[in-house]
Amino acid sequence: VGKVIVDLSMSLDGFITGPNDSIELPLGEGGERLHDWIFGGKSDRSGTSPRTSATDSNREVLDEAFETTGATVMGRRWFDIGEKPWGDDPPFHVPVFVLTHHPRETIKKGKTMFTFITDGIESALEKARAAAGDKNVDVGAANVAQQYIRARLVDELHIHLVPILLGGGVRLFEHLGTEPIELKKTRLIELPDVTHLRFRVIK
């Protein structure tokens, strides 16, 4: 059966966006830097699919993530931010379950179906697991990932560690409670511009 995965790019100081993120600037100031490994350093990323822009080993890491992901759970904020920039064919190509307090009808865009879930993270995960079959369920970004980590529902962390100190932004790891969560490193791929780390959560 599939696993529940948090898969995000993080600065050495723990941020997944730069400072002052907003609807207009979803990655905050300088936050695009975190995705240089995906976009090969290309600065104009409009209309560029993350599925095809990474090169070499980074491309393999990304291909593997896309191939093994069978469903995604995200927060409503991330959906609202992404809806426009993702355009007619959002890059997921798997069922996406959006956690929200405000019901909305299921919509299909290109190869991606978005279903809005109002009855909590466990319900969303149940539906995502059913949709994913043997594949993994990806949960994120930070706020949603934190809820699943806190509920001890995450199996693996796939962290793409980027060599920069951003100094501010959205922190990936906070609000986790103060009970330590032991991890086991299960894979490390060292590249010049990013270190791909994989951890299993010990339960």
* 40 alpha carbon, distance to own chain's centre: 19
Nearer to a copy of itself, 131 or 166 (CB): 166
Interhelix angle for 142-150 vs 121-132, to 10°? 100
Nearer to a copy of itself, 131 or 194 (CB): 194
Stretch that binds a copy of itself, among 6-14, 56-64, 96-104, 133-141 (CB under 8 A): 6-14
* Separation of alpha carbons 172 and 7, rounded Å: 11
96 forms beta bridges with 72, 114
* Separation of alpha carbons 192 and 163, rounded Å: 9
Which of the residues 33 through 72 are near a copy of itself (CB under 8 A)? 33
Q: Pattern 139-178, binding to a copy of itself, x per CB under 8 A? A: ----------x-------x-x---xxxxxx--xxxx-xxx
Cβ neighbours around 1 below 10 Å, total: 8
Amino acid sitting at position 122: E
Q: Which of 126, 98, 102 is nearest to 112 (CA)?
A: 98
Nearer to a copy of itself, 5 or 94 (CB): 5
By CB under 8 A, name the one of 46, 88, 179, 203 that touches a copy of itself.
179
192 lies in the site for a copy of itself, by CB under 8 A: yes
Nearer to a copy of itself, 30 or 75 (CB): 30
Q: Are strands 156-162 and 195-201 parallel, antiparallel or unpaired?
A: antiparallel
Nearer to a copy of itself, 27 or 98 (CB): 27
Residues that bind a copy of itself (CB under 8 A): 12-14, 18-20, 29-30, 33, 149, 157, 159, 163-168, 171-174, 176-185, 188, 190, 192, 195, 197, 199
